[in-house]
Amino acid sequence: MLKDIITQEIINGDTILGIELGSTRIKAVLINSENQPIAQGGYDWENSLINGIWTYSLENVWKGISTCFANLQADIQKQYQVSLKKTKSLGISAMMHGYLVFDAKDELLVPFRTWRNTITSQAAEKLSELFDYPVPERWSISHLYQAILNKEPHVKDISYLTTLSGYVHWKLTGQKVLGIGDASGMFPIDTLKNQYDEKMTSLFSKEIEESHFDWNLQSILPSILLAGQNAGSLSEEGAKLLDPTGNFEAGIPLCPPEGDAGTGMVATNSIEIRTGNVSAGTSVFAMVVLEKPLSKSYNKFIDLVTTPDGSLVAMSHGNNCTGEYDAWMRLFSEVIDTVGQPVKKGELYDKLLYKALEGDKDCGGLLPFNYISGETMTDLNEGRPLFVRETKNTFSLANFMRAQLFTALGVLRIGMDILFEKEHVTVDAINGHGGFFKTAAVGQNIMASALHTPISVLKTAGEGGAWGIALLASYMANKKNLSLSEFLSKEVFASAEVTTVTATDEDIAGFNIFLQRYKDGLPVEKTAVSALK
């Protein structure tokens, strides 16, 4: 689209805005009437470990959002010499799960407990058994039930429980709603009714009835909406939260707020049955849209969530992915700076990650664990980043980098083996997105080796979840009686550029050897956790 046409769309309010609060970055993407990204803004942030809880302050949430929006405005001004005053629609997305609870006065009762926390194992196990359904530790209901089991005094005062996207959307619109994909990470969903499972809500109510709370579960959870439905409008107060300068107008319609899993599915066109996507960044998860329900519950290994339009999805999730090798990259950068040869971050990543393709197929026997935090799937409530080798191993940079990439996918592969080998799930295509794929040829090759499946990456996948939620906002505004999958296929991805990488048999065999070593080495990691307190 020509620049002057884009400029006029910005002036006329015909663009669409998506904002996603990720684990390490808040990102805003503005798209044009052809659903193409035309401007963006960002804000880097990090969670804090306070009193054993991974959290973000709400003050930093709003500082991050307003700074991100200001940076978007600066990008628009630089490119098009105009300012953004209104859009056709907008949407909010954020990392899924976690625990944000408020009282009747809308005051936060305890600091935000994020998805990263592994402090709810007792609750998750009890609920999984009660429901006969996998309830992971990071789900909102696990946090709530654990707080009840812990007899935390704040629980009696709960008026509203939501996720980060639900919270931001609420403050922007006044609406206590949630997209079904994000809601499916709070509490199990009945995919026939597209609502919280009534049988399970009843079981939960009976389980806690002796506590005699004034609330019931249905009353404190957000209302569920499907992709394409209207989720309210930007209020005057909400507009000022986004843009404290007062330049951005109120009244803009919002789509249902969604989690990063749902926006990842949208951004990779992976919401059809038998499609899948893998998101790899701070955390890693693979999602496959199922033809039919699984034959049994795989607690701690496979989560069941939904697409933004309500289809059942199986998810294999790891809390840790690129965080540890990012730490090594910072160390390598410090070494290079110390000897007086600084290198730009992007160039450093590319050069060192490409070395991984030169390493031995099985990483030469090297074994790192990237556990910055715990991993439910391998039964670790805490993490200790670890690197182990035998003296006979080939300790080279290439093997070291390959091992760092392999270990980032260890937990993911353990979960996917259940879907492939025990449930015989068929996947026609797996699309990748996230920071793991920034050095595309490397990320795709390593992921294809780990999942023994071809991995495709769309040229636009680098825009990530912020683009995904912008597309959901576009669908709400422009759906024209199309289903979400039809809208994506016809209006967004019809001419998309795609690259696909298939791993060699040798690469796959090398990862399999590494994975066995990874499993054999887990007692070492567990010992490190128990010994280094």
Coil, strand, or helix at residue 463?
helix
pLDDT at 465 over 90: no
**CATH number, residue 116:** 3.30.420.40
Number of H helices, E strands in the chain: 19, 22
Mean pLDDT of 471-494: 95
pLDDT score at 238:
98
Instruction: Give dist(CA 403, CA 356) in Å, integer.
Output: 8
> Three-state SS for 188?
coil
Residue 474 lies in a domain: no
DSSP letters, 390-401, are -TTS---HHHHH
pLDDT per residue over 6-54, tens digit each? Answer: 999 999 999 999 999 998 899 999 999 999 999 999 999 999 999 999 9
Distance separating alpha carbons of residues 77 and 75, to the nearest angstrom = 5
Give me the phi and psi of 139, to 5 degrees please: -65, 150
The bridge status of strand 498-501 relative to strand 455-458 is antiparallel
Question: Which whole number is the average pLDDT over 449-472?
Answer: 87
Domain identity same for 240 and 327: no
Cβ-count burial of 347 within 10 angstroms (0-12 exposed, 13-18 middle, 19+ buried)? exposed
- Does residue 339 sit in helix, strand or coil? coil
Contact 147, 155 (CB under 8 A): yes
Integer Cα distance of 182 and 97 in angstroms = 7
Which of residues 232, 258, 284 is at a domain's end?
258
Cβ neighbour number for residue 473 with a 10 Å cutoff: 29
**Residue 524 predicted with pLDDT over 80:** yes
Which residues neighbour 434 within 8 Å (Cβ) at sequence distance 6 or greater? 264, 278, 279, 280, 281, 284, 464
Mean pLDDT of the chain: 95
Greater pLDDT, 280 or 256 = 256
User: Do 211 and 134 share a structural domain?
Assistant: yes
> How confident is the model at residue 204, as a pLDDT?
98
Q: Per-residue confidence at 1, pLDDT binned at 50, 70, 90? A: confident
Higher pLDDT residue, 440 or 307? 307
Which range has the worst mean pLDDT, 299-303, 468-472, 514-518? Answer: 299-303
Last residue of a domain, one of 224, 258, 292: 258
In a domain? residue 229: yes
Please count the CA atoms within 13 angstroms of the CA of 109 that sit on its side-chain side: 20
Q: Identify whether residues 254 and 368 lie together within a single domain.
A: no
Which residues are paired to 28 by β-bridges? 19, 41
Which residues are CB-contacts of 212 (< 8 A; sequence separation ≥ 6)? none
CB 290 within 8 A of CB 306: no
Does 70 score more than 80 pLDDT? yes
pLDDT at 459 over 80: no
Indicate whether 277 belongs to any domain: no
Tokens encoding 85: 């005053």
The answer on 142 and 18 residing in a single domain is: yes
Residue 186 lies in a domain: yes
| Number of neighbours of residue 192 by Cβ within 10 angstroms | 8
Judged against a pLDDT cut of 90, whether residue 279 lies above it is answered with: no
Q: Return the number of other C-beta atoms located less than 10 Å from residue 270's C-beta.
A: 29
DSSP track, 341-360:
----HHHHHHHHHHHGGGS-
Task: Convert the pLDDT of each residue in 130-163 to its tens digit.
Answer: 999 999 999 999 999 999 999 999 999 999 999 9
Which residues 6+ apart lie within 8 Å of 55 measured at CB? 47, 48, 49, 111, 112, 113, 114
The rounded distance, in Å, linking the Cα atoms of 2 and 211 is 63
Q: Report the SS3 class of residue 103.
A: coil
High-pLDDT (> 70) share of the chain, %: 99
Residue pair 484/227 in contact by the 8 Å Cβ criterion: yes
Quick one: which of 410, 405, 414, 417 has its CA closest to 446? 405
Is position 285 within any domain? no
Question: What Å distances lie between residue 450 and 277, 372, 373, 415, CA to CA?
Answer: 14, 21, 22, 12
- Two tokens at 477? 């505004």
- The pLDDT score that the predictor gives to residue 463 is 65
Residue 173 falls inside a structural domain: yes
* Domain total in the chain: 2
Tell me: pLDDT of 462 over 70: no
pLDDT tens digits, 182-241: 999 999 999 999 999 999 999 999 999 999 999 999 999 999 999 999 999 999 999 999
Mark whether 332 and 252 lie in a shared domain.
no
Q: Which domain holds residue 375?
A: 323-407+506-531
Q: Are residues 354 and 210 in the same domain?
A: no
- pLDDT surpasses 70 at 96: yes
- The pTM of this model reads 0.84
For residue 440, the model assigns a pLDDT of 74
Q: For position 464, what pLDDT does the model report?
A: 78
Task: Indicate whether 334 and 239 sit together in one domain.
Answer: no
Other Cβ atoms within 10 Å of 364 Cβ, number: 21
Cβ neighbours around 202 below 10 Å, total: 12
Q: End of a domain among 258, 278, 305?
A: 258
Give the tens place of pLDDT for each residue, 426-457. 888 799 988 898 887 899 999 999 999 999 98
Q: Cα dist. 181→15, 178, 195, 227, 311 in Å? A: 25, 8, 11, 9, 9
Same structural domain, 236 and 151: yes
| Cα–Cα separations (whole angstroms), residue 162 to 28, 50, 312 | 22, 21, 21
Q: What is the DSSP letter of 253?
A: B
Distance CA 357, CA 512 (A): 16
Does 147 map to a domain? yes
Residues 240 and 332 placed together within one structural domain of the fold? no
Q: Crossing angle of helices 410-417/505-520, nearest 10°?
A: 100
Closest CA to 31 of 92, 88, 94: 88
Q: Does residue 390 lie in a domain region?
A: yes
Q: How many residues does the chain have?
A: 533
Q: Based on the domain organization, do 36 and 158 belong to the same domain?
A: yes
Cite the DSSP H helix spans in 174-213.
Answer: 180-183, 198-207
3-state SS class at 208: coil
Residue the block writes with tokens 């926006």: 263
Measure the CA–CA gap between 317 and 136, rounded to whole angstroms: 10
State how far the Cα of 196 lies from the Cα of 404, in Å rounded to an integer.
39
Whether residues 379 and 248 fall in one domain = no
CB 55 within 8 A of CB 114: yes
Write the DSSP assignment of 46-82 as a string of letters: --EEETTEEE--HHHHHHHHHHHHHHHHHHHHHHHS-
